[in-house]
Chain A
Amino acid sequence: MPTLADNEITRRQLLKTSGLLSLAGLAALSGAGTLVAGQALAADPAADVNILNVALGLEHEGIAAYQLGAESKLLQPKILKVAVKFQDDHKVHRDLLIDAIKKLGGAPVAAKTQAEYATSLKAASLKSQKDVLTLAARLELGAVNAYLGVIPSFADRALAKVSGRLAADETLHWTTLASVLGMPLPKAMFFGA
C-alpha cells in the first residue's frame, strides 16, 4: 500500500496545479449564481454563506487541533508527517471556503485564538499519541458527518457537490487515523445521519 511519503503533495504544489483553484473551479465552488445571458440562476447566497461559515469554523478548529497535536511532542515522526499533511488539507479547505464566502458577499468567520481552541478541545488532557489521534479522529468524523449532513441544505447545487468532496477528504483523514488507532472497520452506512 503506497505511503504518504511515496505520494507526497505539498500545499505549494497543490496551489499551483489543483483544478479546484482554477477560475472555473472557483466559480463552481462559489456558486454565486451562475450568470446565463445576464440572468442569475436561483440561489440563496445568504443562507449558503451561513452554511459555508459553519464549515469554515470546522476547518479553523481542525487546523488548530492538528497544531495542538504537532506541538504536543507526543506524535512519532511518521505520524507527525501525516498530521501535518492533514492540517495542510484543512488549510486548502479553509482558503477555498473563505474565497467562496467572499464571492457570495459574505464575511468569513474568523478563527479563534489557539489558546481558545486548546481550552475547548481540552488540550491539557492529551497525554499520549493515542489521545491526540483519538481527538483528531473524533473531529474528522464530526466533519464528515457535518459536510454530509448539510448537503441537502445548500440552495446552490454546486456547493452541495463541493460539500460532498470535502466530506470525502475528511473521510480519508478519519479512515487513516482509525487505521493507525486499530479501530475496527465501521459497518455500512456508518457515516451521515
Chain B
Amino acid sequence: MVTFVKRIVLCLGLLVCVAVFSEAGQSTAGDPKQGKALYMNKCYGCHSVDANRVGPMHRGVFGRKAGSVPGYAYSPALKASTVVWDQTSLDKWLTDPQKLIPGQKMNFTVDDQAERADIIAYLKSVS
C-alpha cells in the first residue's frame, strides 16, 4: 500500500514537472510568424535578411560569431567581440546592446520580452 502511494506521488510529481517545463519552454520559444511581423516593423529600417544595409544581414545569424558578416562595416567593438549569437545572447543584445557589447553602434532595444522572443524565433527560422 505504501509503495503504491509512493508510486502515485512520484507520477504526479513527474507530471507537474513536465507541465512546468513545457510551459516554461513555450514562454521563451517565441512565435516566428509574429516575429516576422515585428521584424518588418522594428528591424527592417536597418536590417534585411539577405542584404547588408545600415545594419548587417541576418540570414544565418544563429550560431554566427558577432561582427563576422562579410562586407559589412562593423564597429570595432563588434569585430572584436567573441559573442556567438544564440537565443540567450540575442535576448541580451535586444535588451541592451551597449551592456552586452560596449561600443556597439546599434543602440536599439526591444523592451518587451515576448516581442524579443518572437523576433528571435524569426531570426532562428531564417538561419
Contact = CB atoms under 8 A, between A and B. Distances in A.
Interface stretch (B24-32, B44-52, B62-70): B44-52
B125 interface: no
A146 interface: yes
Interface stretch (A51-59, A78-86, A93-101, A175-183): A51-59
Contacts of A22: none
Chain A interface, DSSP helix/strand/loop, else mixed? helix
Best-buried of B40, B42, B98 by chain A (most CB within 10 Å): B42
B98 A153 contact: yes
B45 A141 contact: yes
A41 B112 CA distance: 34
* Interface SS of B by simple majority: loop
Contacts of A119: 51
A142 B108 CA distance: 11
Interface string A103-139: 0000000000000000111100000000000000011
A150 B106 CA distance: 8
A50 interface: yes
B43 to A, nearest CB: 8
Contacts of B75: 50
A93 to B, nearest CB: 14
A149 B46 CA distance: 12
The 9 A-B residue pairs with the shortest CB-CB distance in the complex, in nearest-first order: A142-B45, A120-B51, A153-B107, A149-B108, A57-B54, A50-B105, A146-B45, A150-B107, A193-B110
Contacts of A57: 46, 54
Nearest to B38: A193
Contacts of B41: 141, 145, 190
A143 interface: yes
B45 to A, nearest CB: 2
A141 B53 CA distance: 15
B58 to A, nearest CB: 13
Contact of A145 (B42, B51, B106): B42
A61 interface: yes
Interface string B82-115: 0000000000000000100000011111111001
B107 A54 contact: yes
A193 B105 contact: no
A149 B40 contact: no
A51 B51 contact: no
24 contacts: A50-B75, A50-B105, A53-B105, A54-B46, A54-B105, A54-B107, A58-B54, A120-B52, A121-B51, A121-B53, A122-B51, A138-B40, A141-B41, A142-B43, A142-B45, A143-B45, A144-B45, A146-B46, A149-B42, A149-B108, A190-B41, A193-B108, A193-B109, A193-B112
